[in-house]
Every structure is written in C-alpha cells, then in structure tokens.
Amino acid sequence: MRFTLLGPLEIVTSEGALTPSAPMLRRVLALLLLRADTVVRSGALVEELWGDRPPRSARTTLQTYIYQLRKLFGTFESDHDPGDSLALLTKPPGYELQLGKGDQVDVYEFEALVNRAKACRHEGLIEDAVAALNEALSLWSGAALTDVERGPLLDAEATRLEEIRKEVLELRLELDLQLGRHHEVVSELLSLVSANPVHEGFVAKLMLALVRCGRRAEALDVYQRTRAELVARLGLEPSIEIQQLHHSILKGDGEVGARVPAAPGMSLLSPAQLPPSITDFVGRTAETGRLRSAVAGDCGLSIVQVLGPPGVGKTAFVLQAAHELRSLFPDGQFYANVGDLSDCGRGLSDILAGFLCSCGIPPDRLPTGLRELSNMFRTWTADRKVLVVLDEVLAARHIRELAPGGSSCAMLVVSRTRPTAMPGMVTISLGPLPEDSALELLGRLIGPERVATEPEAARALIRTCDRLPLALRAVAGRIAARPHWGLDRMIGRLSRSDNLLVELGEHGDELLASVEASRRQLGGITRDALDLIAGLCVETVTAPVVADLLDIRVAAAETLLEQLVDASLIEEQPSIQEGQESSYRFPTLFQAAVRQLIEPWHASLVGPVSPSTSRPREPADA
C-alpha cells in the first residue's frame, strides 16, 4: 500500500484507491500513519478526536474506529505475520500501526530524501543534493493533510511539516544559486516573496538572484518593500544578514552573493535524537507533574536532575517525559549518554560535534576545541527552543559544557550521584515503585489475570524484587515464558538461589553493571564501607556497626553512610522515636550485586561477614 499525507489523504493499492471517507476515521488513520511503527497512546487519539471534552463512550468509540480500519486493511492481530504485511496492533497503552515490507508513506520518503540531500551537501555533491531536494518537494501535492479535519495533534503535525517544507525549499534555492542558476530561480522567488513578504530567507535569495541577473535597482526595491512590511507588521528592522547584503549591493561589491547569508548551521529537519520510550511505563504521576512544572517555567534555562538507585527506571522516566514534552521544544531534542567517556574533554567534544552536525553544520566548519564547540552550540540554541537530555551524568562540568544557550531551552539530566548544585536546578529523586504501580507493571508484563489469581504471591514477588522495575521485568520475562509456573515457584527460586542475579538473566547483568558503575564512583573508604555492609548479609545497618567494622568514629561512619545514600545504594530509615539512631536499609539485590563484584568467583560460597570483622574476608584459594 502507498499512503499519502503531503496533500490529500489517500491510500492506493494495486487494486485501486482504498481511502476511507468518514472524517473521524481519517483522523485516526492520519495520526497512526504519522507515528507508524510506534505505539500511539489511546489518550492521544482521544485528545485528537474530541479535544479536552471527550464523551463517556470515547474509548469504546475509538475501539470501533480501530476495528473499522482493520476491516479496511483486511488484517487482524490473530493473522499478522510480523514484518511481512501491514497490521494495526493493540499494544498497551494504545495502538501501533506496523508497516509491511512493501508499504510506503510519503512523509517518510520525504524525510529520507532530505537526509540524503544533507549528506550530499556535506560531501560537496551540490547537484546531487539539489536533485534529492527536488525529488523530495515533488512528493507534495498541496498542504499537508489538506482534506482532513484536524484536531490539536494533527494540526501541530501539519504545521511542522509545512515549516520543514519551507526550510527544504529555501535550501534548494540556496544550492541553485551556488550552482549559478540565478536566471532559472528568479520567477520562483518573486512568487514566493509575494506570498511570504516577511520571510527573510526568501527575500535574501531574491535580492541575490536579481543582482546576479543585472537587476540591481529591483534588488534594492525588494529590500525597501520588505523593510516596510517588517516595520508595519512586526515593528522590526530587517536582520543583520539582509542589512549587510543591502549594504553590499549599494556599494556595488563585486563579491556580493558569493554565498547566500544564512544562520550558521541551518537545519533541514529539527534534530530528534531521543531514544524510543517504553510502551508499558507505569506510575510516577507526581514526579512527572513536578518535572513538567519545572520545564514549563519562563525563568531562563530549566535544568531538572533525576536521581535514583540502580534499576529504578531513571532513564525510562526521563525519556517518557521528554517524548511528552517534545511539542514544547520544536527546534530539536538532543540526547547523549556521557557515562562511559574515557577522556572527558575529548568525549564532550565528540558529543557537541554530533549535536552541531545534526543541526546541519558541515563537519569542516566545526572548531576543534571543547570551549569553542560549546560556544557554537550555545550560539545556535540562543534563540531557539530545544531540549537536551543527558544520561549517566557524572559531574556538573558535563552539564555546563553541554548546556544550550536559550532562555526557552531545557535540560533533563539522569545521574547516579548528586553533581555539584547549579543555579535553578530542580532535583527529582525516584524511589522504588509504590506497591500499586509495581503490581500494575507486573500485570502488564505477565497478564493481569495471573496477578489477580495469585494476589498474595504477586505482592510477595514485587517485595522480593525490591519494587525495582528492572528486576520486575526480569522475573516477569521468565514467568511469561513459563505459563505453567505459579508465582510461588518463582519466589521460591529467588529465595533459595545461591546467586540471586543469575535468576534475573540478562537483566541481572544490567543491574550488576549499574551497581558497579555506582560503586566505581565512590571514594576508597566509602567503597570499603559498602563492601563490608554487603558482607554482613543483613537488611539494615546502623552507624555504630559500620564504625566498629572500619575502626572509625560513629560520626565518620554516619558521613560514609550518607555518601552511600547520595549514591542511591542504601536508603535512610529515620528513627521513629526522638533520640533513637537512624538505620540504613541495603536492598537485597544491591547486596547480591556488591558481593558478586568483590568476590566474583566465590560470592555464592562465602558466608556473611561477622560484625566484628574489620575487613572483607579474602577469597578462598583456587
């Protein structure tokens, strides 16, 4: 099937047109196509169809539309061969339209051609770039979704596509001028400026083309008319670039127009680097609301730092929020994982270079120094609205060097420990999932009927997993693959296991790596304290016990324990009675991970460390 959205909505098959005529059905189809191969939340579809006043029957009616589309395509979930043909699948919390091998959508063809043009331009293949851009523009047969009654989401998508179309057209005209095709583009530019009198990109190119055609007086007249329009409509003077071009034309500069003035790094498509969010995300409503409030403020650059223990779902939470906030940052969303940089300075330079290249800046125009790259990125973002998401941040320096420059920009930072506080930074700490959310996640992973059948076992299982999403996904994967297992059997395996992480499979390796990364950031004596506490094999510990183990004062032990709290490896449990000392809880899974790290070959064979022992016992001889 071929789907067109860059103009009228159409579905064309080898047997003819298959386009639905019902307005609401067309809106559902359009939104699913624009987000093909990703899950579209039911709430988003309801918002598109009925805005903020959906009827009580909205969900039922939406299900009817989904059924009608499946009937239209002649495919249902039960007979779907993954990847072979188009299918509309139910995937909580919504629906996913999966394209088949032969299916085509003009929007994705358009974006692919534009990206090909970007690559050709960067390699100096200007004629090939122009050819790709012309092919991309030829896919348009009118305004995007011109015959679809649009709600808020489709309206925003149509506006975004139209802006991209103008950017692509502007670039193609710039490249045509570089190739000396000023005579060919003058009439097109005259028409564009007439329709868009304050579009300074089109105006600059028209002035340039007219001068190159020997029509200097007309170029100056275009400038005067544009200036009058800008002042009358917006109360603004023309941009510095156009004023400089005007001045060069007045002087009769023979070099005028060697290159069309343009903002450094004009982007063909707004960078959209966010990794996909997970489809079964649950809970965190209060934290999400707090993050939204922090980002929506207008008090300058917003920085939100998200902390939490290994396996708690920090990255999933931030990516979920980032995708929901995309509409607030139309100029781009950048993503980088900075946790495994071997050489901090060089690694940050590579990240910034990647950011700037995605903005359309050719690699040969990038500076080499970290400070210069950081300044260029801040300059590009100064008057834009962009979102920067940084994962595994280790130090405040990472935030400072990778920060955008605009007051309407925002940063979401995922960190294991607390970097040095920065002005205006908001910190959100994630703990284990509340019990209800953990049960909901377990139900989504293994089926709600299994949780309902064994409610007490389900609650015991999530407690065994410390209510950590990573651990819950691990055990749920094993349970889902073994429908004959009861939940009690899984709990028994976990409680009897000599190596708890082995029972978690690949997710156990992930948790081990996450704990290892957190442990690696600790100072020497703090790491010793962590290792000794893990060897105790007890759920809670107090400062006097740690002081005895390390032969230090109780006050110093409290400081070490607080450092472990800051690293999100243990949890403080304040005393109930006044004057009673606090205790610190060490989650079972983290204990198992630390023991495996310090005694990888013997963790399951060595017994607990005695409270009177001052150092971890040495591994047995091989």
Task: Render pLDDT for 155-198 as a digit per residue (tens, 0 to 9).
Answer: 989 988 998 999 999 999 989 988 888 888 999 999 999 999 98
- CA nearest 315: which of 284, 286, 346? 284
Domain match, 423 and 442 both: no
CA distance 196 to 209: 17
SS3 of 132-169: the string is HHHHHHCCCCCCCCCCCCCCHHHHHHHHHHHHHHHHHH
Domain match, 531 and 449 both: no
Domain match, 410 and 303 both: yes
Residues 583/486, Cβ–Cβ less than 8 Å: no
* Span 329-343, average pLDDT: 76
CA atoms within 13 A on the CB side of 422: 20
Domain match, 355 and 441 both: no
Residue 165 lies in a domain: no
Give pLDDT, residue 604: 40
pLDDT for 130 beyond 60: yes
Residues 419/391, Cβ–Cβ less than 8 Å: no
Domain match, 488 and 521 both: no
CA distance 334 to 242: 30
Domain match, 289 and 389 both: yes
Give pLDDT, residue 274: 85
Phi then psi dihedrals of residue 98, to 5 deg: -95, 125
CA distance 402 to 409: 12
Which of 414, 429, 444 is a domain's end point?
429
CA distance 298 to 236: 23
* Span 368-377, average pLDDT: 84
The number of distinct structural domains making up the chain is 5
CA distance 148 to 160: 16
Residue given tokens 């009673």 in the structure block:
580
CA distance 383 to 373: 17
Domain match, 580 and 453 both: no
Give pLDDT, residue 340: 60
CA distance 286 to 279: 19
- CATH code of 550's domain: 1.10.10.10
Tokens of 6: 């860059």
pLDDT tens by residue, 37-46: 888 988 889 9
When mean pLDDT is compared over 96-100, 273-277, 327-331, 441-445, the highest value belongs to 96-100
Give pLDDT, residue 6: 95
Give pLDDT, residue 505: 63
Higher pLDDT, 137 or 458: 137
Is 276 buried (19+), middle (13-18) or exposed (0-12) by CB count in 10 A?
exposed
pLDDT tens by residue, 592-603: 777 777 765 434
- Confidence band of 605 (pLDDT split at 50, 70, 90): very low
Residue 225 lies in a domain: yes
Residue 109 lies in a domain: no
Domain match, 460 and 482 both: yes
Residue 612 lies in a domain: no
CA distance 270 to 195: 24
Residue 154 lies in a domain: no
- CATH code of 231's domain: 1.25.40.10
DSSP codes joined into one string, 527-545:
HHHHHHHHHHT-SEEEHHH
The 10 Å CB-count burial string (b at 16+, else e) for 213-239 is eebbebbbebbeebbebbeeeeeeebb
Tokens of 299: 């008090």
CA distances from 342 to 94, 346, 592, 610 (A): 41, 8, 28, 38
Domain match, 439 and 423 both: no
Residue 375 lies in a domain: yes
Cα maximum dimension of the chain: 94
Residue given tokens 């023309």 in the structure block:
238
> What is the rounded average pLDDT for all residues in the chain?
80
Tokens of 362: 């050719």
Higher pLDDT, 81 or 9: 9
Percent of the chain residues past pLDDT 90, beyond the cut: 18
Domain match, 413 and 451 both: no
Determine the structural domain holding residue 484 and report its residue range.
435-496
- CATH code of 351's domain: 3.40.50.300
Domain match, 207 and 341 both: no
Give pLDDT, residue 258: 44
pLDDT tens by residue, 282-292: 788 888 888 88
Residue 401 lies in a domain: yes
Which of 53, 86, 102 is a domain's end point?
102
Q: Which residues contact 238 (CB under 8 A, 6 or more apart)?
A: 200, 223, 226, 227, 230, 246
pLDDT for 214 beyond 60: yes
Give pLDDT, residue 221: 93
* Span 253-275, average pLDDT: 55
Residue 120 lies in a domain: no
SS3 of 389-433: the string is EEEEECCHHHHHHHCCCCCCCEEEEEECCCCCCCCCEEEEECCCC
pLDDT for 423 beyond 90: no
Phi then psi dihedrals of residue 211, to 5 deg: -60, -45
* Span 382-403, average pLDDT: 84
- CA nearest 414: which of 394, 444, 400, 384? 394
Give pLDDT, residue 503: 64
Domain match, 515 and 455 both: no
Spacing of C-alpha 405 from chain mean position: 19
* Span 7-25, average pLDDT: 88
Phi then psi dihedrals of residue 186, to 5 deg: -60, -50
Which of 404, 429, 454 is a domain's end point?
429
